[in-house]
Structure 1
Amino acid sequence: MEHPAAFQVIRVIQHEHQSLAAVIKGMRHFVRVIAEGGKAPDLKVFRAMLLYISEYPEQVHHPKEDMYLFAPLRKRTNEVEITITTLEAQHQLGEQQLRDLSLALMRYEFFGDEAFKSFHDKVEAYASQYFEHMTLEEKIILPAAQQSFTEQDWQAAAAAFSSNADPLADIHNESLEKLFTLICRITPAPLGLGEPV
């Protein structure tokens, strides 16, 4: 059964995933450029991307998924319990993974080539896991919610996620919008609007 609020929730989540994917693809692109002998981009690009991930998915996106997707879905069905448990565990590990990435970046910044492989490997592993994570949410969790959620479940999720979609809703989200714009401007082409490396 199609609920009026379902389209709104799914659209917001998919849009957020697209923004996060753009940032993570940018991170992965830069380490691959360096690995292939290309010019290293300004490290402020990496720092901006890590800040965005720390502030947005970790503080805004994931908590709302936990509360307004996973928790009600768990009440409605046990068919996706393993997937929910996996995704929740990945959410819990997110902040530690970002600290590890930040530390690997600092080591690369200070120690150069000898620290690059560790930084490269951590970025690749993080990107792979995150893309898998978003795929599970879009291919398993959202269809399960469409099958199981009540109108009240969708209304609660829509109220929570709709505040994410408006960057002017509060100062925090306005800052995130500015940060994402900055990332797009300083990320070299072809992924961003900056000068090619």
Structure 2
Amino acid sequence: MPMQPIAIQLIVEEHRAIANVLHVLQAVVDDARRGIAAPDFERLRAVLVYLDEMPARVHHASEGGLLFPLIRERCPALRPVLARLEAEHERVERIVRELGHALSAWQVMGEGRHEAFELLARTYVEMYLGHMKVEEGYVLPVAMDYLDEADWQKLAVAFEHQRGEQAQAALRKHRELYERIVAKPSVN
């Protein structure tokens, strides 16, 4: 079986990191709801910063700016799915900012705002995990079928350029933030 193209490897690795952070978000909220632990607002804030920064600045830019246009060109039948996924990118970016506001309200206004944050967080986690499942289970396999070696080489160069020297500092910061988020085990 041939090795996966670098573009797919990077997207799948980023999906794993995003999923891990989403699971931390859910675990911290669940622990607070069950009274197992006091709300860890600092960790929740770090989670939201990561989910606001990394996907929008790196991951979605790779998919929407580099991979999806090539898939759209090679497989026109996938255009509606790609349009839906790009709309979801915008939606998850908007919701994470709403989560930031809801988190501030919970922290400042107290327990009466916990449920609103929890419901929004649960919706966000389920939606984002489902979104990534469609990308990995449907879009990436179609890309493997429709893109040729020259396309994958072009994407590898584009991904490298996108994540070039200037972006490396930001990527290191995202990695450090990710490590800080997942390093602390949840109580459950």
Both proteins in one fold, TM over 0.5: yes
**What is the rounded CA distance, in whole Å, between the counterparts of 1:20 and 1:88 in structure 2?**
17
Calculate the aligned-residue CA RMSD, in Å.
2.4
1:97 aligns with 95
Q: Is the 8 A contact 1:168 1:174 kept in 2?
A: no
1:145 aligns with 143
- Counting matched residue pairs gives 188
Structure 1 residue corresponding to 2:185, chosen from 182, 185, 188: 188
| C-alpha displacement of 1:159 | 2.5
Matches within 5 A, 1:1-150: 6-150=4-148
| C-alpha displacement of 1:150 | 2.5
1:193 aligns with none
| Alignment gaps of 5+ in structure 1 | 190-195
More helix by share: 2
| C-alpha displacement of 1:167 | 10
* 1:117 to 1:169, Cα distance in 2 relative to 1, 3 A: closer
Q: Is the 8 A contact 1:80 1:140 kept in 2?
A: no
Q: Is the 8 A contact 1:52 1:180 kept in 2?
A: yes
| C-alpha displacement of 1:162 | 4.8
| C-alpha displacement of 1:38 | 2.0
TM-score, normalised relative to structure 2: 0.90
For 1:46-88, what per-residue CA distance to the aligned partner results, in whole angstroms no more than 9, with x for missing partners?
Answer: 1111111111111111011012221111111122222111101
| C-alpha displacement of 1:166 | 9.6
**What is the rounded CA distance, in whole Å, between the counterparts of 2:30 and 2:162 in structure 1?**
32
**Higher mean Cα deviation, 45-54 or 147-156?**
147-156
**Higher mean Cα deviation, 127-136 or 6-15?**
6-15
Q: Is the 8 A contact 1:83 1:136 kept in 2?
A: no
**Higher mean Cα deviation, 159-168 or 9-18?**
159-168
Structure 1 segments of 4+ aligned residues over 4 angstroms from their partners? 162-169
Code of the aligned partner of 2:137: K
2:177 aligns with 179
Percent identity, aligned pairs only?
30
| C-alpha displacement of 1:164 | 8.0
**What is the rounded CA distance, in whole Å, between the counterparts of 1:24 and 1:176 in structure 2?**
15
**What is the rounded CA distance, in whole Å, between the counterparts of 2:162 and 2:39 in structure 1?**
30
Local SS of the residue matching 2:14: helix
TM-score, normalised relative to structure 1: 0.86
| C-alpha displacement of 1:173 | 1.2
| Alignment gaps of 5+ in structure 2 | none
**What is the rounded CA distance, in whole Å, between the counterparts of 1:148 and 1:131 in structure 2?**
25
| C-alpha displacement of 1:172 | 1.2
